[in-house]
Structure 1
């Protein structure tokens, strides 16, 4: 079995590379694997044509072609060969207000790719239901993301006097502004991973937040951030999956996340669920976790058990079984 994986240009982001690198590392132990990155990072017509031609030039009659996400439109270059498409979320549609752009993206990033693909993998049931609300198809399968094996349980005494709260991401959906407000007056150190905006720095100064910031970390450096923290903070407004939830759980840390799908699905009953739009709800979660030791220990134990659902061996096996059906 030969599998060709197609990735977006790395300048667009490394999150999809990071997830699939873990899975591919397991699959390539028994299968012939080749990985490609499309040459253009843009989405203008010239970029689309360039990526389509590149993808077409790499197609093989007897191989399985797996488009790993984001570049859904390259499926147009894979008509007639075996194809799998992974869809992470539909933010490319959900956030578009211009009706013409929305129609274009619905056609070339959703409708045609889903029609062309032999199988469409959704990384959560939430993503699956979101697609089904927009297009009727029986091609959808749910396979979760896998945890990188570098994440292992690491014991650490909880710093109740001044816990380190790890916040991953500074984009619009990561809810950093409400996090900063919710932490006002709570003795802690906010560790932020991601490039800060000017407005976010101003808010940190307004609330006199004790914080530090880092970005462009390697996988190993990100793992070390989890090991060093006391609480993983992820009260996101929108996600396709939510890797920090299970990475935190696997490390043995208390996780605070949102009571929205798919975070409820991913976290199970092993995290503190908050209303991401309610500052007081987020604040109450911090205060409870910091003050209640038995509550923390119970959540950590549940988190470790929950994280087992996302082991790379288990997830890779699901993909292998899927490939066998093509």
Structure 2
């Protein structure tokens, strides 16, 4: 092989929505306790950490709970299996998770079984990894509640967003763009969606943001990309999902709204500008697709992850007709 390198809400949803206007969840950040090692260990994306925690606390087989999903942030190191696995630096973001999975494949330790990713493959030179989709998300930009930056029905265009992140906007010369940390799948997706490369990022851009943290927006000139599903989930009152939205509001792109409905019925607009919609994935070694536990958990529309449609939707993601597909492959 060439390698370079939780919420069981179900029927309770309606009760909570009617009675409280929020949803409480028994899922937790990281397995709880941390010695609850389970059968498959996953790391990576901030965007999908909470939905995978929810799925991890709800899917089982005859050996018990299957998925232990480790959040993108928390303790500096994690230990994913009881034996044969040393502590490793916690991967923060899709690329970091995929790199950790590749490193585990090279080492042959089987300490990381899958990576959470909010982007597709960045390198298709090999078929070493399979990116298995299970939910639909979108990325738009967020600004402070009182901001006039894109706070119209039209919002901003792709070209306007590109000029803001290249720091040469004549429409919004005072804009202060924020960008997620290196290794973030949302960062990679956002730059591709607005049509600029890493080399084109302007010097005015603050590139140290932890993704989907609206608390970083402290004035009306700041602008940041935000996962629509994450923004929805953060406002639902889940006990395991910190509300990091602050005063931010999601804005339109090219006149297209990122959400539909309101209150507890707020949902991803699956007709949002298609250039800003994306699938989210669990990434597994292609050589292990035939492994019985991995196959039953991730592969095909009847897999345990794909059967968790209620959990997926409750965390703000849209459902996919090709959930569990194994045709998308790559190196990283």
Category of TM-score, reference length = shorter chain: 0.3 to 0.5
The structure with more radius of gyration: 1
Say which structure is richer in helix.
1
User: TM-score by structure 1 length?
Assistant: 0.34
The structure with higher relative contact order (CA 8 Å, sep 6+) is 2
